[in-house]
Every structure is written in C-alpha cells, then in structure tokens.
Structure 1
Amino acid sequence: MNLTIDASGHSKVAILSGDGVVIGDVQDALDAIMNAHYLDCDKLMIRKELIHEDFFELKTGLAGEILQKCTNYRTKLAVVGDFSGYNSKSLNDFIYECNHGQNFFFKATEEEALKALHGVA
C-alpha cells in the first residue's frame, strides 16, 4: 500500500495505490484510513481495481462496514473507476446516493474524484 498526497489550498487527499487488491477487508480499509490520517489527510481516493469485488456486492456488507469506518474516523472517500459493468439496482442506487452526498463518491476519473474530495464545484 502506497499513499501519495494531492493538495489544493488547505485540502489534502491521500491517493492510495498498490499492486492487486489492496483493500480486501475492513482492517485493510482501516489501515488505509489511519495511514492517511498519519499524513494529516482526512480524504482518501482509491481506484476500484484495488478493492475486493465483495465491496461491490452489497449483500456482503463490506461496503457498509468500510463506509462506517470512514464515517467514524471522519474520512471522505472517493472510489474511481468504471461502474457501468455492474447490473445491480441496489449498487447503482447506492452509488447514486453517495454521489449526491458530501462524504462518499464514485467517480469515473481521478480528476472528478479529486474535485469532489477537495470540494471544488
């Protein structure tokens, strides 16, 4: 797991990278959140390929548990990737609701994710 920082004004986003699945369970997500906080970041961006597929199968509860950890530790999260291949109505509704909130985002590009996390209109 590697973290780099993208700064815009007083806003800092930790960008998670790595090889293969980096977030496979709740503990991996908590480690990423804590590492970001260590770097004085309360915003985290990750590509969807780095997250275990169970995250996108809502009935597993993984997405809910990870987003709850983000909420508990006051961390905004953006997942970047192509979500058009998922045919689950509940997942599509979940993504829609997240994108209309202020703390969790599912964006097609890193640029869109950074704008959302930095709060750029």
Structure 2
Amino acid sequence: MADMVQERAGVPVLVCDPDGPLIATMDDALDLIGSTYQGAEVVALPAARLDERFFSLGTRFAGELMQKFVNYRLKLAVVGDVSSYLAASSALRALVRESNRSDHVWFVPDLDALDARLAVQAP
C-alpha cells in the first residue's frame, strides 16, 4: 500500500504505508508534509517509520519534526506501539502525555483510536 489520503471520521488523513521510507531527516519530514497537498489535514505516521532518534529526546529530532507539522498547520498522529520507548524514558512519557492533550500531535495505538480522536475533535 502506498501513502494515501483517506477520509476518516470526516477528516482527510494521509495514511502512511508502514513499509514506506524512514523519516530520519527534516528533508524526509518536509517530503511527507508535501504529500499532504493532496488535501490531507492529518498525517497518520506509523511509529516504525520514525528514526530511532525521534524517541531519544536529547537529539531534539522529535521536537523539530513536531514543530514542522505545527508550522504547516497539520496534525501529526504517530500510530503504533511506542511502549518500549516510553518504558525507557520518563521525558518521552511526559512528551506523549502533553502531546495527547494538545490539538496538533497525538500518539495513538492504531487507526481506530485515531478515528475516535478525530470524531471527538469534529466541529
């Protein structure tokens, strides 16, 4: 499956292929953001497509990537199991907790959870 825009809970979402390219640089992130010009408001990115540095907050990669999405007024949903990373980092746990309280970046276990989150956000 290629990355494709799907309507989910009434919102256009770029659902990224789990087997797609790794997001390891800001250029990779910008390429992904460019894909949203197909009309997506949200990017559902499998956690497995994020470079390991994303989950090590000292690298600042997560903050920079998340800020790019905010700057472009796009929502980012990191989809998948990140529990092993959370178990290893209290700072990452705090980031995920705060992100999930926000309106821009969410960490969800699967697309069904994303759909539920989008339905709550609907106007």
* Structure 1 Cα separation of the partners of residues 114 and 22 of structure 2: 19
* Structure 2 Cα separation of the partners of residues 95 and 61 of structure 1: 15
Structure-1 residue corresponding to 2:16: 16
Structure 1 position 2, deviation (Å) = 3.3
Kindly indicate whether the alpha-carbon contact (under 8 Å) linking 1:21 and 1:51 is maintained by their aligned counterparts in 2: no
Q: For the structure 1 residues 49 and 100, does the alpha-carbon distance in structure 2 shift closer, same or farther, using more than 3 Å as the test?
A: same
* Structure 1 Cα separation of the partners of residues 10 and 107 of structure 2: 23
Higher-helix-fraction structure = 2
Q: Please list every run of 5 or more consecutive structure 2 residues that lacks an aligned counterpart in the other structure.
A: none
Kindly indicate whether the alpha-carbon contact (under 8 Å) linking 2:99 and 2:106 is maintained by their aligned counterparts in 1: yes
Structure-2 residue corresponding to 1:110: 111
Kindly indicate whether the alpha-carbon contact (under 8 Å) linking 2:3 and 2:14 is maintained by their aligned counterparts in 1: yes
Q: For the structure 1 residues 108 and 44, does the alpha-carbon distance in structure 2 shift closer, same or farther, using more than 3 Å as the test?
A: same
Q: For the structure 1 residues 68 and 58, does the alpha-carbon distance in structure 2 shift closer, same or farther, using more than 3 Å as the test?
A: same
Q: Which moved more, 1:15-24 or 1:54-63?
A: 15-24
* Structure 2 Cα separation of the partners of residues 19 and 120 of structure 1: 27
* Structure 1 Cα separation of the partners of residues 6 and 19 of structure 2: 20
Number of residue-to-residue matches in the alignment: 118
SS of match in other structure, 2:64: helix
* Structure 2 Cα separation of the partners of residues 95 and 18 of structure 1: 21
Structure 1 position 102, deviation (Å) = 1.0
* Structure 1 Cα separation of the partners of residues 43 and 53 of structure 2: 19
Structure-1 residue corresponding to 2:28: 28
Q: Among all aligned residue pairs of Structure 1 and Structure 2, give the percentage whose two residues are the same amino acid.
A: 32
Give the letter aligned to residue 33 of structure 1. I
Give the letter aligned to residue 71 of structure 2. N
Structure-1 residue corresponding to 2:80: 81
SS of match in other structure, 1:14: strand
> What TM-score, normalized to structure 1?
0.88
Q: Which moved more, 1:12-21 or 1:65-74?
A: 12-21
SS of match in other structure, 2:39: coil
